[in-house]
Amino acid sequence: MLTFSIFDHLDSNGAPLGDFLEQRLRLVGLVEKSGFHGYHLAEHHSTPLGLASSPSVFLAAAFARTKTLRMGPLVFVLPLYHPLRLYEEICMLDHLSGGRLTVGVGRGGALMEHERYGVAAADAPAMYHEAFAVLMRAFESGVVDFDGKYFRYKDYLVQAKPLQRPHPPLWYGAPNADAIGWAAPNAINVVSLGPAARARAIADRYRDEWQKLGRDPAALPGIGITRHVVVAATAAAAADIARAAYPRWRAAMEFLWQRAGVPFALKDIYPADFDALQAIGHGVAGTPATVRDFIARLQQETGVNTVLCQMVFGDMRFDDAARSIELFGREVIPAFSV
């Protein structure tokens, strides 16, 4: 059995911001109607790659328009937050959603964004670890005392707890299999980018660690991978949609690297055009049957139990994205539900 979610950068498509956000919220409603399990949004700053620079604000609106869909950031970029303020927002969102919030945590993938926020790239990893420790302490106790290098708190009285105890499900972007030594004991859901071989190593390590811990195999956390996916009635239509939309998304992905005059670090994962992306197995555009075959091979090659589909990107037309999501929900998801 596979679980399917949407992963969305909310990258600019050229529309005015209000229109853009309204379109995305309409698509979130369609994602729920189409049978997806979850919706994850990225957090980015100072770049057209991410127009939901405050995931909590977007999620509050999205939860108000849905009833069952599980949603959350992937990830909250912890070095850019006051961790106790973030803790309070998490509690509010979890209650407002009726316990549907998921929480991705990380240091952030593009450290040049941190620098534009006044956070030194060299400090980001340590700040992430401290902020995560503060969050966990607030979830677990009634009073937070913390004396770190970057965050110091004395006698913070915890006035709220999330609806999901001890906290909403956590997600983490696993860079490699070594990260599983931390993730598995803490039952953290993980997701990886890029090559199938990396995802296979992560999935195998997670299952091995889970077994050593004596945990129930049926309770295995999410082990996910991201892939660009476009579905249409014909192969030619799907290819045309993907080829037209991808360049704008790819340019947004590289935007800050290009502005800084440094080589793009993810060019092997995200090549310059969609045909090249599809050739290395990092995306698919086709009919429902083609996409079902792609997903089946992906599951066999990687061992993941969750696929996070990037189905809205670049300047893809709303109608094309909506049709793709509907077709995926009607003709792809049911094939992997047993």
What is the per-residue pLDDT across 223-248, written as a single tens digit (0 to 9) for each?
999 999 999 999 999 999 999 999 99
Q: How confident is the model at residue 7 (pLDDT cuts 50, 70, 90)?
A: very high
Q: Mean pLDDT across the stretch 263-290?
A: 97
Domains of the chain by residue range? 1-48+222-338
Query: Are 106 and 172 spatial neighbours (Cβ–Cβ below 8 Å)?
Result: yes
Q: Mean pLDDT across the stretch 290-319?
A: 98
Q: How confident is the model at residue 1 (pLDDT cuts 50, 70, 90)?
A: confident
Share of the chain above pLDDT 70, in %: 100
Q: How far is CA 25 from CA 32, 47, 128, 316, in A?
A: 11, 21, 30, 15
Which residue's structure tokens are 């770049």? 47
**Predicted TM-score (pTM) of this structure:** 0.97
Report the chain's mean pLDDT, rounded to a whole number.
Answer: 97
**Beta-bridge mates of residue 306:** 3, 224
Beta strand segments in 53-149, E:
70-73, 76-77, 103-106, 143-147
Q: What is the C-alpha to C-alpha distance for residues 40 and 50, in angstroms, rounded to an integer?
A: 13
Q: Is the pLDDT of residue 166 over 90?
A: yes
Q: Is the pLDDT of residue 338 over 80?
A: no
What is the per-residue pLDDT across 51-82, written as a single tens digit (0 to 9) for each?
999 999 999 999 999 999 999 999 999 999 99
